[in-house]
Structure formats: C-alpha cells, structure tokens
A and B are shown apart, each in its own frame.
Chain A
Amino acid sequence: MKVIDINNLTKIYNGSEVMVKAVNNISLSFEQGEFAAIVGPSGSGKTTLLNMIGGLDKPTEGEILVGGTNIGGLSASKLIDFRLKNIGFVFQAYNLIPVLTAKENVEFIMELQGKSRLERDERSIALLSAVGLGERVNARPAKLSGGQQQRVAVARALASKPKFVLADEPTANLDSKSTETLLDIMEELNKKENITFIFSTHDQRVVNKARRVITVEDGCVVSDEKRN
C-alpha cells in the first residue's frame, strides 16, 4: 500500500542574486513498512525533499500525496494538524525539550493528540523500553548521552502512531556504537510496527541498513535501488 506518492516535485529558492533549483522534477512513491535512505552529497537537495515530504516546506511545483491527501494544498494550520497525526520526526540534533523527562518528551506528542493519561503512560513507557531506555524514563535530556537522547527522539517520533517517520541525518552526531544501536532499534520498530522510515543521510552505516536507497544529486534522483 502506497503511503507517499510524489509527482513531478520541484522546489526553487529565489535568492537575491541567483535562483536555485533545490529539487528538480522528482517523482517517487513509498510503500507501507519501507526502510528507505535518501543519500547524496551536501546541497544535493535531500533535506529539502524530506522537508517537503514532511509538510515543513511548500513545493514550487508538483504534488505530494499522503494517504491520498495533497499536502501541498493544505493551509498552514491544517498542515500542523496533519503532521501531528501522520508524521514522526527525528532530527539530527535530537531537539528534545530540556525541561522535560524522557517520558514527558514522549508523552508530549500524545498529549497534543488528546490521548488519555493512561494511554500516554502505557505507550511512552513501552516505547522507551523498546528503545532500551526503560530504566531512564525519568531522566532529563541533559543526563542522557547523545545516543540515548536520539533514542528518546525515535520513541517520541513513534508515539503519535504516525504513517511514516522522517529522520534527517539521525546519526550525524553519534559515535559508531550509538549509531549501530539506534539503527538496530529503528529497524526492529520498523518491522514490528510496520511503520515506514525515510532517512536523509550520507552515513554509510545507515545506507548499509536501508532496504531502499535513493540517490539524489543536483535535485534529481539519479538512482533508486531496492534491496531484500
């Protein structure tokens, strides 16, 4: 089942002196349960593509259909609501709320969704246990290592039961061991919960784990390789 359908997507940035075509007429689709990596050198357009899929940036041309909805046509407020219900985000710099505990960081998204306290409690503890932090639920981000923080971010991304998770360079700030652990956890969750994961990365370790690798250069898809 198609989760995301991208048709002729183009993004042009109009600078003061030059016009930059960050994404150039890309068409792609993602199925339920994919574990895909978008790779390419810096400035190739992979983050811009990810931002548009996540509804954070508006395309200049083309359409992005998520579950049949063209998110490019949604108003800003509807887009926020759409993101809350359908998309999980994992950022390079973790971006946890420093004043909240690991559990509260995970619960927070569910609170925005209006979930009950009981459901929030159960799911946040289950997710933190799934990412190996069952013992650190009450720790604040400052007390966690970079790898642990990113695992909390993954748990947070999954808390809202999204249709897919977008992870922008999730391993860029992590050491090898933390990267390995994080990727194993994400792969396991992907299989267990059948949630689509899409990474933007130039980390070879992520590429090696991915079951689909899309290479982007100069805003265009130059290869789209599916692995078993």
Chain B
Amino acid sequence: MIWNISWKNVWRNRSRSIVVICAVTLGTISGVFVAGLMKGWVDQRIHSAIHTEVSHIKIQNPEYLNNEELKHTVPNYNKIEAYLNNSPEIKAWTKHTKIIAMASTSRGNTALAIKGINPEEEKAISDVYTKIVDNGGDYFESGFKNPIVISEKTADQLRLINYIISQELLDSLSRLGADENLVNSLNQVKDQRFITEKKFKAELELILKPSEIKEFGANIMKLAKNYKIRSKVRFTFTDMDGEMVQKSFRVCGIYKTTNTMFDQMNAFIRTDDIAELAGFQNSDCHEIMIILNNEKDENVKLFRDNLKSKFGETNVMSWKELAPDAGMMADFMSMYYYMIMGVIFFALAFGIINTMLMAVLERIKELGMLMAVGMNKKRVFNMIMLETIFLTIVGSIAGMILGGSLIGIFGKVGMNFASVQEGFEAFGWSAMVYPNIEISFFFGVTLMVIVVAIFSSIIPARKALKLNPVEALRTE
C-alpha cells in the first residue's frame, strides 16, 4: 500500500512532477550520450593503438630503447620465433626492422622511422593497409622496385602533394550542384599546379566568392589533391657498422590514420629491400609485434609476463605500456563516465529535494493524520523516499531509453567532428566517432539514481518526521 500511495503521490501535482521528470530525463540523456560519445572515442583510440600502432605485445632489445642503433636487434630471435610459432594464444605475429633516417626530396625533408616489414604478415598485425587515402596509390601492390608507403603528413612535409583543377574535378562539382559561374571561375586555373595547400587556398580566395568557398571549398580541396605517387625519396641513415649510407625508394602508397604523431613518424618498406645495404642478417629485427587471440587485459598481462620470464634478455611490453595514453583511458574511463553521471545527478538532486520539500509542506495535515492514526516514522520515511525514487527513476528510465536510442543511431551513422579534425588527430583521437555504451553502464546508472533519490529524500523526510501530529492536524 505504501508503494501504491507513494506512486499516486508523485502524480498529485502532475505539472510539477512532469517538470522534475523532464529535468531528470534531459540530464540522463546528456549524461548517457556524453558517456557513450567518450566511450566511442576511447574504444577507437584503444583499437587504433593496438591494431594500427603497437599491437598487443612488443618484444625489443632493452638496449634499443636507450639507443636506437641498428646493431641492437632482438636477441635470441630464433628461440623466440620457435616459441611464438608454437603458442596457441597468438593470433598473429611479425617482426620489424626499424631505421631512423633522414628522408629528402628535391623540395623537402624530414626525419622518419622506416619500418622494414613483410607486407603480407603485417596485414595480420596492423590495419595501416586499410588506411590508404583516395588516389593515394596502394599497399605494396605496384610492381615497381623499392616501394615505400608514407603518411599523408610525411608526403606534405616532403612536398609530394600538389593541387590541380582538372576537368574531372569540374565535372564532379557540377554533379554536386555547383553553378556555371563557379565552374567558369575555376576554369581560369584549370590544369595549373599548386605546390602547397597554402598557395592553392590563396588562389581560390582570389577567384571564388566567400559563399562559394564556404559551400564547395572542402570538396574542391579534396578533389584537387594530387599525390605524387612513384616520386623518389632519398633516405640517409647509418648501417649496422655505423657507416652513413643512402638509398632511394619510390612512393607506392600514402596512408592516413587518426594519429598525426604516428603518421609523422612512420614509413614502411619491405625488409628485403634494405637488408643488404643496412647489413641485416635474416634473423635480425628490432621489434616483434604480437596480436593475441584473447584481447582481455589480464590475458595480455599474463602472456607478457610469460614472455618476460622465458626471454629475460629482451624487453617485453604490453600495449598499455607502449601507448600509455590509451592504457590510462582503458583503466579510468569507466570511472569517468560515472563521474559525469554523478555530477549531473548531484545538480539534479537539488531540484528533486526542492520538489519533495514542497510536496511535504503541502501535506503537513495529511502527514499529521497518518502519524496520529498509527503510521510510524519508518513508514513515513519510506513513503517519502519511495516517492522520491519514483519521481527520479521515471525520468532516468526515460532518459536512459532516449539516450541509449541516440547512441544506437549515432553508433551506426557516426558523428563527424570534421571542423576540429586536425586538433583531435594530433592527440590520436578520431574525428569520426561512433558512440557506444555497455549494458552494464545502465545498471550502474539505475543504482546511482536510487542512491541520489535516497539522498534527496533525506531532507524532506526529516522535515516530515519532525512534525508534531497535533500541530500538523491544526494546520489549514
């Protein structure tokens, strides 16, 4: 009966309750959605850290961590190879050679870590092969000699990107709805080559109206981008004996991940193409990358510790140590989601307390009667607490359903933060986010709602418990 009374009391002042329920609903929607968004980001960052950058476990020579000289290859490689080939826990593994080199073209230069890989094995470890940009060549599929895959960032630094208004671009713009004036304006610079993005943008500002740039600028930039595939890049580095050597590679592919730092540092070549010049033996490598079947944290730690004990002469690190930013997120984010909800519910609690206080003050006479006829303090407290829980939980359930639905929709179509893409990617965060949330989060939020409701009911309930039945019955 107390449950019945409490539920009915919620609807006694319908409009006031609806206002509070709406506030709780909106608060819950925002909290759930923000948590889903954060989780989407974090999951993508972790996925990118493991499957693009560092794998689950990496084995290196401890000396190589202090001094990246080519001679510090992974010790006892043959033993490790035999062990890895017979480990059922492993899904895939591969080895890299790594050379720190100066890359140069006729117009630019930059420092790079050139990773010598086996492209087929690498595909099972890293998804860089899926990140080749449109019109950016391929992943070691072209037949030419000494191919290299570099990032778009590196291509930009080496001036291997230029901008051209082609007939194809003009046709595409017409299909996108560009009017004749815009096409005619662009026609003035057709087939002209702009060697930097800055110069191309400056030209567009001269020949196009601001409104045209606003509407079609991004598409023009994208369509005009021309990667100089097959361009020669010369690398200078020191070989195993410490001698300076040089070798040229031709760009076969240009990739772009969601981590600018990674892109800026890494280029990929076939190990065989540099082995002789660098002085590598067949067993020489600088890092062994491992992907496990079971991605669970405790499993990764267990296998890392196992490798550490077996191959004490090597340095074995898990992805959490190799990408500490992603590791920290994995460890603390679930707490962070609850903190977001906690802050929202803490603010809402004041509104709930206020509403419940008003509800109690309006019913002083009735509460006096209840106490007079024999309703004890525990029951009075329970009645007010249940009322508060009902009031709060209705809004939060509605909020969880709506917030969850929003996450479901945006989880499929994604949310594109293109305007801040550069900033996000500088920290390794993707600008395209697919929010998601675990079901257990909703159980946690429900528990929080009940705790907040109990907390919010304390002040109104205390007010009710302090009533003197005789005085309460006298009130009008």
Contacts and interface: CB of A to CB of B under 8 A. Distances in A.
B310 interface: no
Contact of B365 (A85, A95, A112, A160): A95
Contacts of A85: 374
A97 B5 contact: yes
Contact of B372 (A83, A97, A98, A99): A83
B408 interface: no
Interface stretch (A26-34, A51-59, A125-133): A51-59
Contacts of A156: 373
Given A97-B5, A100-B5, A100-B8, A112 B375 contact: yes
B373 A109 contact: yes
Question: Interface majority SS on B: helix, strand, loop or mixed?
Answer: helix
Contact of B376 (A81, A98, A107, A109): A81
A104 B1 CA distance: 8
Contact of A77 (B1, B370, B376): B376
Contacts of B2: 111
Interface string B185-196: 000000000000
Given A51-B470, A160-B374, A95 B369 contact: yes
B5 A80 contact: no
B371 interface: yes
A55 B11 CA distance: 33
A56 B470 contact: yes
Interface in A104-125: 104, 107-109, 111-113
A124 B377 CA distance: 25
A95 B4 contact: no
B1 A111 contact: yes
Given A56-B470, A97-B366, A83 B4 contact: no
A99 B363 CA distance: 12
22 contacts: A57-B470, A80-B376, A80-B377, A81-B374, A83-B372, A83-B374, A85-B374, A89-B372, A91-B473, A93-B365, A95-B365, A95-B366, A95-B473, A97-B5, A98-B12, A99-B8, A109-B373, A111-B1, A111-B2, A112-B375, A156-B373, A160-B374
Interface of A: 51, 54, 56-57, 77, 80-81, 83-85, 89, 91, 93, 95, 97-100, 104, 107-109, 111-113, 156, 160
